[in-house]
Amino acid sequence: MAGIRLTPEEPEMPVGTPPRPQLPASVAGAGGGSGGLEMASDDERSVAADSWSVRSEYGSTLDDDQRYADAAEVLAAATASANFPSAASDYCSDKEDQDPGDVEGSMLGLQSYWDASYSEDLANFQEHGHAGEIWFGADVMDTVAVWTKSLCNIIQGGIPSGDNSIKSEVHEQLFSNYPVLDVGTGNGLLLQALAKQGFTNLTGTDYSEGAIELARNLATRDGFDSIKFLVDDILETKLDRKFKIITDKGTLDAIGLHPDGRAKRIMYWESVSNLVEPGGIVVITSCNHTKDELLQEVEDFSKRKFGKETMDEGAGPVSQIFRYIDHVRTYPTIMFGGVEGSQVCTVAFQRM
């Protein structure tokens, strides 16, 4: 069921406001399509940008047409010239051999889009106190926070993956000071939800300065001054410490929407594997990939890391960098094309 996008929660709009258009299939579809770099049409760019931007009942504070035009111009230039950051040179993706789970390139994978979007969020917060959208909704965010706390038993006791005892009670003194990193934190509300669960050593990073400024303002307003927020790009991180827990709610999805998303996802896993402590956990929430697709991506990363991308049958297991622990099983499910699935998945991995 990859590719069914859950619309983030929004503030109520005045009566008569036209509904927000949804993301076009070429952008929202993951797990299908060629995964190539075909450019979206002008209409698709406009619809995609509108569906991911923040609207408050007071209207936009930026010139939307200019914002979309700027982001589309950057996307077109990147796609036409393949002028991607040199950091991706070791992981250049083979355009002739795309993974079937790849997502088409989109402006939503570009920093320029998110810088503009969070500038608008910040202006709306400063003028009206609006916090912005909660990606995947408040219910998913709260579920992730509670479930992440339950995973702390694994760090201490090594509970077998998928074991029902993962749901057992966790004592706050066991985990409260675990260092937690939320990558691509956006407005930082997931960290606030984790703080409410008893976590005290919390750090959020985002490559958008506007996002970090918004997150800091919201944390101060809501009484969570102890949460640390830093401007940092997970693909080229400057962090020099390790964390017991790393959370990601939608960041890997956005990275995959870059025109060279396949290569950048590999860079993502390389960076995350260096930031999480051995025995620590990584919690990924995605609306673009199923649990099985994320498991396959982690396995492929291990194979690439250890130089065993092609192995003869019977050559033995590949050394693991991450092992699958469990996934959230309480999200609502739907039937589509005879297949049952959910609109969002949350999967946990342990660093070996």
Average pLDDT of the residues in 237-248:
98
Inform me whether the pLDDT recorded for 163 exceeds 70: no
pTM over 0.85? The answer is no
Pairing outcome for strands 322-327 and 333-336 = unpaired
CA distance 190 to 333: 23
Q: How confident is the model at residue 153 (pLDDT cuts 50, 70, 90)?
A: confident
What pLDDT digit, counting tens, does each position of 10-45 carry?
A: 444 444 433 433 333 333 333 333 333 344 444 443
Inform me whether the pLDDT recorded for 166 exceeds 70: no
Average pLDDT of the residues in 214-227:
98
Nearest Cα to Cα of residue 234 among 272, 276, 274? 272
Average pLDDT of the residues in 313-319:
59
CA distance 181 to 135: 18
Beta bridge partners of 327: 347
Q: Which of 157-161, 214-218, 264-268 has the weakest average pLDDT?
A: 157-161
Nearest Cα to Cα of residue 151 among 286, 46, 282? 282
Query: For the domain 108-157+171-307+318-351, what is the CATH superfamily, name and number?
Result: Vaccinia Virus protein VP39 (3.40.50.150)
Query: In the chain, where do the E strands start and end?
Result: 179-183, 201-206, 228-231, 243-249, 276-286, 322-327, 333-336, 339-342, 345-351
Domain residue spans in the chain?
A: 108-157+171-307+318-351
Identify the pLDDT of residue 156: 76
Beta bridge partners of 183: 205
Inform me whether the pLDDT recorded for 237 exceeds 80: yes
Average pLDDT of the residues in 299-310:
79
Higher pLDDT, 119 or 10: 119
Identify the pLDDT of residue 77: 53
CA distance 231 to 250: 17
Spell out a b/e string for 4-28, using b for 16 or more CB atoms within 10 Å of the CB, else e. bbebbeeeeeeeeeeeeeebbebbb
Higher pLDDT, 67 or 240: 240
What pLDDT digit, counting tens, does each position of 50-102 carry?
A: 343 333 333 333 444 554 455 455 445 544 443 433 333 344 444 445 554 56
Please tell me whether residue 159 adopts helix, strand or coil conformation: coil
Q: Which of 149-153, 193-197, 313-317 has the highest mean pLDDT?
A: 193-197
Q: How confident is the model at residue 126 (pLDDT cuts 50, 70, 90)?
A: very high
Identify the pLDDT of residue 124: 95
Residue 42 — left, alpha, or beta (φ > 0 → left; ψ -120 to 50 → alpha)?
alpha
